[in-house]
A and B are shown apart, each in its own frame.
Chain A
Amino acid sequence: AQTVTQSQPEMSVQEAETVTLSCTYDTSESDYYLFWYKQPPSRQMILVIRQEAYKQQNATENRFSVNFQKAAKSFSLKISDSQLGDAAMYFCAYRENSGAGSYQLTFGKGTKLSVIP
């Protein structure tokens, strides 16, 4: 079974600084997706960024970027120029991409990010 591990229950960052959230996963599959979701106090789950395992290039979305290390099964999220609105729970998630596989998301336990003004 696939597992996703976020080893940092809480992190904090100064406004305008950069922070990196860690995520590791375990799978025997070669084709899969990885995601970072943000959950602010409103509880809405918001997709931040996605990475396809067969793409070597790291995904970027404005101030958000990932460091995808497939061999190490590591998928970290970097937030640059942190803003107060970035304060939230961040969840790393995994999904298979095989035709007969499951399409469910497997989530890590989350990292609570605080942004200090």
Chain B
Amino acid sequence: DARVTQTPRHKVTEMGQEVTMRCQPILGHNTVFWYRQTMMQGLELLAYFRNRAPLDDSGMPKDRFSAEMPDATLATLKIQPSEPRDSAVYFCASGPPAGARGEQFFGPGTRLTVL
């Protein structure tokens, strides 16, 4: 049963600390997305990759957020330094190559709380 996995599922940290979230996309998928969900803003795109290359990170605060794909099986989202306003659920999603059915498959999310 192919699934997107994310670690950790929950993270509580103090303001100023570094936070790293990891995602393993579904094998064979070549697009990876990072979304953030908050009550106020809803679901918003932070960044996405195709074939491990970053295509769009315009939704990400550049001064503190960074996203990478060291290899095809791992995507990371880092926040340094973290702030209370970063508290949210962060979802990773992966999708099959273009021309397929268009779906994105979501991981279970990382619930981040910054105190």
Give the Cβ gap from A46 to chain B, nearest Cβ, in Å. 8
Majority SS of interface residues in chain A? loop
Give the Cβ gap from B48 to chain A, nearest Cβ, in Å. 6
Quick one: which of A42, A44, A97, A103 has the most chain B CB within 10 A?
Answer: A103
Residue of B nearest to A101 (CB): B98
Query: Of A43, A47, A110, which one neighbours B89 at CB under 8 angstroms?
Result: A43
A107 within 8 A of B: yes
Residue of A nearest to B109 (CB): A43
Give B76-115 as 1s and 0s: 1 = Cβ < 8 Å from A's Cβ atoms. 0000000000000101010100100111111011010000
- Chain B residues with CB under 8 Å of A37's CB are 106
Contact residues of B between 17 and 57, Cβ < 8 Å to A? 31, 33, 35, 42-45, 48, 50, 55-56
| A43→B42 contact, CB < 8 A | no
| B103→A47 contact, CB < 8 A | yes
* Interface residue tally for chain B (C-beta within 8 Å): 25
How far is B88's CA from A43's CA once the two chains are assembled, in angstroms?
12
- Chain A residues with CB under 8 Å of B102's CB are 33, 35, 50, 52, 95, 97
Residue of A nearest to B108 (CB): A44
| B43→A91 contact, CB < 8 A | yes
Contact residues of A between 26 and 42, Cβ < 8 Å to B? 33, 35, 37, 42
Query: Of B48, B56, B95, B106, which one neighbours A45 at CB under 8 angstroms?
Result: B106
Q: List 12 additional contacts besides A47-B103, A104-B33, A105-B33; criterion CB under 8 Å.
A: A33-B102, A35-B103, A37-B106, A42-B108, A43-B89, A43-B109, A45-B106, A45-B109, A47-B105, A103-B95, A107-B43, A107-B44
Q: B residues near A, CB below 8 A?
A: 31, 33, 35, 42-45, 48, 50, 55-56, 89, 91, 93, 95, 98, 101-106, 108-109, 111
